[in-house]
Structure 1
Amino acid sequence: MDNTMYTQTGWMCPEPGQVRLNGKEKMTLVSCGRFRLLRRQMAETVRPDGRQDWQIIYVKSGAGDYWTDGECRHVTEGHIILYRPGEPQRYRNELADQPDIYWVHFAGTEVDSELERLGFSQGHIFYVGSSREYDCLFEKIIAELQVKQCHFQELTEAYLRQLLSLFARHRAVQTGAAVRRTAEVEAAVRWFHQNFSQPFCVSEYAKSCGMSPRWFTQQFTRQMGVSPQQYLTGVRMEKACELLALPEPVSGVSELLGYQNPLYFSRVFRKHMGMCPTEYRKKYCSSPEQPFVV
């Protein structure tokens, strides 16, 4: 056992190198691990012909030297390095840089299209930031590959897809393609979905959470694209469509949604759905072949 560095690895097969793919897997894990230098001064990997699978290296902390397209780059914390099948691989980690990295090898017929969809079709090095969610997913993949309980293949694939999606989400926020949701706005969204039938006052809600009403309204509108009241109304209308599929009178649906006046509820519903509740129920929710169901 080499106690000059720390490694933790999980493999798809009991023996490394025995993985055989039949070409039909959509996305499957080959191996995953974590690496840190403890006393060894340097560790280097060189694969002139690359590998047959894909590899992502995530620099959790520290730094390392990575070669892509024939050039060496000093890659720091919060970056991932993507090596595609057949691409030469070379990377070097030195104790002075205190590298702590996760890596994963994977393959499958959908990998190329999935990475393109997520924005990783061009380039090799991407900044994705640091997140405890990344660490947890890597650890879950390693554990599943080590223990190999039933359905571990499906779970590791799901964890990998989640990991790639989180990488893509962070990049989208960094590049301005998406707006980052703050904790305050996420909490408000959850509150709306859990308390849609309750009366809502922006001032009272904001103050109860230690925020100024103006700041909260501005942040919510910027991040969600609609005001808090408009968002709540949208939640109520979605719930109304669900409730109208039940044998509940429109007045009862109105009350369950927090509207004391059924006529006002009907006006709001018509504005959003283009028809009144009774018309919506007749068109979409009841027919001889489709009775009301819960």
Structure 2
Amino acid sequence: MNPEHYDFTLGINLTPEEQDLSVLFSGEGRPHPGHTVGPSVHDFYLIHTVLEGGGLFQSDTFSAECRAGDTFVIIPGSLFSYKADLETPWHYAWVALQGIGVLDLLRAVGITREQPFMHSDNVAELHSLYERIRHAFKQSAYPRLESLEASGWVRLLLHEFGRDNLSALPPHPSEMPEMIDRQIDQAIRWITLQYHQQISIDHIASSLGYHRVHLSKAFKQRTGLSPKQFLLKIRMDKARELLGSPLTIEQVASSVGFNDALYFSKQFRKHSGMPPSEYRAGLRGGY
């Protein structure tokens, strides 16, 4: 047991290899009254959530008395210190992170270097997520799988932070687009990812809660193309890529959403000015 804590548990990642977000370790403790850490700096991110009791957190940009439900984040390179309350010392859980994507993920949930603090009323859910992170490191025969599991739980923890933190903040105009703009974004994403399927523009419109005519008009204003034209463009662009591969014309047609290879060839010729076989010959130096 850690001599400065009544209770102390820790899980350590043996293979912290992911570049965007990697969990280094996670723990939970009940320090003694007045227990102090710092002033010091870390070269990793360290998130603490107070489960019970309280204490004081200070950084070079922020200071706060913390109570149950409060979370404070230590940013790499920031000078910090924290101290358990003398009467009711905190019981907290923590997780240490590293990676090039961590700061952007924290910003996405409303945590910044200037405001490394948030509050949640859902302490039980946060506590459960910390436990799952820590228990992922059960030192099995598959440490890389443990690392993947822990990273997944951390993303859910950050999601929980975002739900609580962002709802308490005034929305930024750039993050609150008009509903039709969001639906157009979804339609674009839908077509871009599902071009190989038998996509119905009517189905997309109804799924997004819009009449086809209304959606098509807004879609064309955004992209310069109707949804049908945009779908054809995506398919033809992908077909040109695939024609450089060993796939047959029939296989290329099927891969970009055409069940009929002859109809695909007709559409490709109309869109590209030549049949797919001639386009392929050009790629192979046939001109």
Q: TM-score category by the smaller chain?
A: 0.5 to 0.7
Report Cα offsets for 1:171-207 as digits up to 9, x if no partner: 21101328xxxxxxxxxxxxxxxxxxxxxxxxxxxxx
Whichever residue aligns with residue 175 of structure 1, its letter is: L
Change beyond 3 A, Cα 1:92–1:280: closer
Q: Counterpart in 2 of 1:121? A: 112
- Counting aligned pairs with the same residue, the percent is 16
Change beyond 3 A, Cα 1:12–1:246: closer
Q: Counterpart in 1 of 2:7? A: 6
Q: Counterpart in 2 of 1:164? A: 158
Which of the numbers 45, 51, 58 marks the counterpart of 1:54? 45
User: Structure 2-normalised TM-score?
Assistant: 0.57
Q: Counterpart in 2 of 1:64? A: 55
Q: Counterpart in 1 of 2:213? A: 270
Q: Which runs of 5+ in 2 are unaligned?
A: 173-177, 219-225, 237-249, 260-287
Q: Is the 8 A contact 1:44 1:90 kept in 2?
A: no
User: Structure 1-normalised TM-score?
Assistant: 0.56
Which of the numbers 149, 152, 174 marks the counterpart of 2:146? 152
Q: Is the 8 A contact 1:60 1:130 kept in 2?
A: no
- Output aligned runs, 1:17-96, within 5 Å: 25-37=19-31, 40=32, 42-69=33-60, 73-94=64-85, 96=87
TM-superposed CA distance for 1:138, in Å, is 0.9
Q: The residue matched to 2:137 in structure 1 has which SS? A: helix
Does 2:134 correspond to 1:142? Answer: yes
Whichever residue aligns with residue 53 of structure 2, its letter is: G
Whichever residue aligns with residue 61 of structure 1, its letter is: E
TM-superposed CA distance for 1:169, in Å, is 2.9
Report Cα offsets for 1:116-147 as digits up to 9, x if no partner: 34432232542231323322221111001234
- Output aligned runs, 1:115-264, within 5 Å: 115-131=106-122, 132-148=124-140, 149=142, 150-177=144-171, 246=198
Q: Is the 8 A contact 2:119 2:165 kept in 1?
A: yes
Q: Counterpart in 1 of 2:269? A: none
Q: Which runs of 5+ in 1 are unaligned?
A: 14-18, 179-223, 258-266
TM-superposed CA distance for 1:284, in Å, is 3.8
